[in-house]
Every structure is written in C-alpha cells, then in structure tokens.
Amino acid sequence: MPSQPDRRRGPAAETEEPRWGPSTTYRARPRLRRPDAGERRQQLPPPSSPRPAGAVRDRAPEPPLPPVAEADRAGRHPVGRAAAPTGTTYGRRRPSSRVRRRRAGVLLAVLVAAALVAYPVALGLTALGALQRVDALGASAVEDTPGDTYLLVGSDSREGTTIGGDAPGARTDSILLLHVPDGGGPSVLVSIPRDSYVEVPGYYETKINAAFSLGGAPLLVDTVELATGLHVDDYVETGFTGFADIVDAVGGVEMCPETAIEDPKARLDIAAGCQVMDGDTALGYARTRYEDPRGDLGRGDRQRQLMAAIAAEGTSPGLLLNPFRAFPTAAAGGSALTVDESTGLGDLVTFARGMRAASSADGVSMTVPVAATDRVTNSGQVVDWDEEQADALWSALRADDTEAVRAIADAQAAALGG
C-alpha cells in the first residue's frame, strides 16, 4: 500500500532533504546574505565573554598581489616578491659603471663646448664695450664690392701725449687698406702713402691725408673710395697714445731693424738688430721717416711690420688662453681704437682674423705702386702712383682676386731687391 504524505509536515518535496541517487538532482543550498558591518558588530560577543569555539576573527581583505608574469615583465621585483613601494629604490636596476662613465663624458663635452663658445665671445664683448665710436661710413657713392675692406687710419693727433711738434689738430700719419676675400684667397694689407696726390671730393687735388683734416673720417672714406673704386666696409682708427697702449697691452713686439736709427723728431734712438720694443719705442719706429732714404715708403713698410707683429702677439695662444692677460689686452685694445657706429662683434672678429692672415707667410703685404715721390705742387712734395700698376691692383681687389694681387706684390718686391 503506498505511503501517504504526512499533512503535518507539508509536501515531501518542500520538507525532505534531497538525496543522492539516480532519481535525485542536486540543488545548491541558498546563499546566505552577509550582514553589514553594524549587524556584525551587534552579533560579536562582548569583550569579556569568551569567543565561541570555532569562531574566526574578522580580518580586512588584503589587496591581491600582481600576477607574477606581469611583475616579471615590468622588472620591478623578483618572482614571488611584492612590488617595491613607490618612491623607494628597492628592486631598481642601477646603471652600470660603463653607462655612468659615458654620461659623465657627455656632460664634460657639453661643458667644454660651452666654454669654448662663451670664452671668445666674452673677450670680444670686452673689446667691443671699450671701443670709441664715430660716424665714418655714410651713404657711399661706390657700389658694394665683394669681400670685406677695412680702412685703417693712424692719426697724428698729439692729444693726450707728451709728443710736441707744429701739427695742430689731427692728420693721418698712416693709411692702410685691409682686404679679406670671400673666396678663401690670401688677405691683403696695402699701405697708401699719406702724401699720395689724389682728388678730395668737394675740394681739389691734394695730399690724401688732408682729407682727414678737412672733413674727418667720413671725407677720408669718400676720398679713398673715389681713388680706388673699392667700397669701404668698415673703419678703424687709432692715435699715438692708442698705438702705444696696444703694443704695451700685448707685452711688446719684436722688431729687427737692419741699421741703427736716431731720429729726434720721432724721439727714437735704437740700435740695429732684433729687440723687443715697448709702446713708446714702437711708436717712434712707426713714425720715423727722415732718417730713411725711402722716406714715407720706408715708413709704410715699418708700419705694416708693426701691425703684423701686433696681430701675431695679440692672437697668440699664450695670450688668448690666459684670461689674466687676455681680458686686460682686449680692454686696452678696444679703448685704443675708434670704429664706425655700425661696427659689431662679427666685424671685429673678421678684422682680427684678416690682420693675422695678411701678416702671415700666406698673406700679401705691399704698398700702392708708386711712379714718383719728388714732384712739387701747390700742396708741397707729393707722391704719384704708377697709374697702370695701381689700376691693376685696385681692379684685382674689386674682383676679389687676391691671387692676382700677390703677383703684383711679388713684382714690387723684386724691383726693390726684396
């Protein structure tokens, strides 16, 4: 007889536990709701009461560790270890000694490069800040010519010196042209005798040095441009005091006169042979002409020799690499020179390099070819240029062909027995 369900217990499907077997199906027990924190605190026994057996202390869940494979790829900690806290060096790979040496070498190279750039710039700025200025270059009537052409002027002004004489005001005791080519040829230094008979714009034909006394630096620039056809790019002037100061600043210059010279007008009394000249002696050596059989032409040769010696000493490594000598020399040299108002640091650098190049064995140093030195005019005894040779010289410079100028200079030296 089949069994009847017990009505007091309800249906068997709702009261009886499921059984394992072919005719039964497992059903999971319902998940109990986790009480919130307030309920848990209420369910915990008071501190004084003993904890029931089997009870488990509640603990805050710990953050999971990063997967081992991911940690290994990041390279932050070995396998099986936790990552190092942020801001610490635990587990970081230190650069090898080879890498540290390479970094130090790069830093040293950067510092050396910065010093190599900053040091010459500082020297140039020191000289630039000490320069005197004059408005020498106005609107030129001559078209621009290739290369850089500098007009160098030595004034015979007695201002600030103990040199006497009957020459009030200022005239040009020496006139030189420095041409630095664009094409990489030799630099050229040309002396123009101060008694050269030329046309002064707006006046008349007279000695070229009269242009300076008539109209100062601007008129002298215009006169030189008219006589040569060269466009003057910059102007450099020094007086007696400045010339002596420059020589003293570089520590003196060595000159080798072939004969003894005694010239009271130039306040010069020296023996023959090589000797180091200070500023006053070098100034007298540059000015003397009455004891020279070639007169003003011989003086031009000595002036170029002195300029070469000053350029060699002023740009020597022994001076430039010694800041205790280089900066005083730059300041003294700058204060001894007067330049155009537009002259900048780049112009000074080109001038210094050009002077050194023209004074070296590869440079060209000469005087304007001369035909006569004894012609007498209303202006006194004057110097006449050799028109054919002088035109060839100026044409070569206007074309920036300084190799052609070398041939003219060699021919001149051969004619003088040099």
pLDDT value for 165: 47
- Residues sharing a CB contact under 8 Å with residue 199, sequence separation 6 or more, in sequence order: 205, 223, 226, 227
Give the chain's largest Cα–Cα span: 170
- Residues sharing a CB contact under 8 Å with residue 102, sequence separation 6 or more, in sequence order: none
Other Cβ atoms less than 10 A from the Cβ of 327: the count is 14
pLDDT value for 166: 45
Q: How do 234-238 and 338-340 pair as beta strands?
A: antiparallel
pLDDT value for 397: 95
pLDDT value for 45: 54
pLDDT value for 13: 46
130, 191, 313, 328, 362 from 317: Cα distances, Å: 22, 28, 9, 15, 19
pLDDT value for 128: 85
Q: What is d(CA 240, CA 284) in angstroms, rounded to the nearest whole number? A: 10
Does the pTM surpass 0.75? The reply is no
Q: Are 124 and 347 in contact (CB under 8 A)?
A: no
pLDDT value for 198: 95
pLDDT in tens, the chain (418 residues): 455 555 545 454 444 555 555 555 555 565 656 655 555 555 555 555 555 555 555 555 666 655 555 445 545 545 445 555 555 555 566 777 877 777 777 777 777 777 667 877 888 888 888 889 999 998 788 889 999 999 999 887 655 544 444 445 566 778 999 999 997 889 999 999 999 999 999 999 999 999 998 999 999 999 999 999 999 999 999 888 888 888 998 889 999 998 899 888 888 899 999 999 999 999 899 888 887 888 888 888 888 888 888 888 888 888 888 888 888 888 888 888 899 999 998 898 899 889 989 888 889 999 999 999 989 999 899 999 999 999 999 999 999 999 999 999 998 888 877 5
Q: What is d(CA 418, CA 415) in angstroms, rounded to the nearest whole number? A: 7
pLDDT value for 44: 52
pLDDT value for 69: 53
Residue 153 β-bridge partners:
175, 237
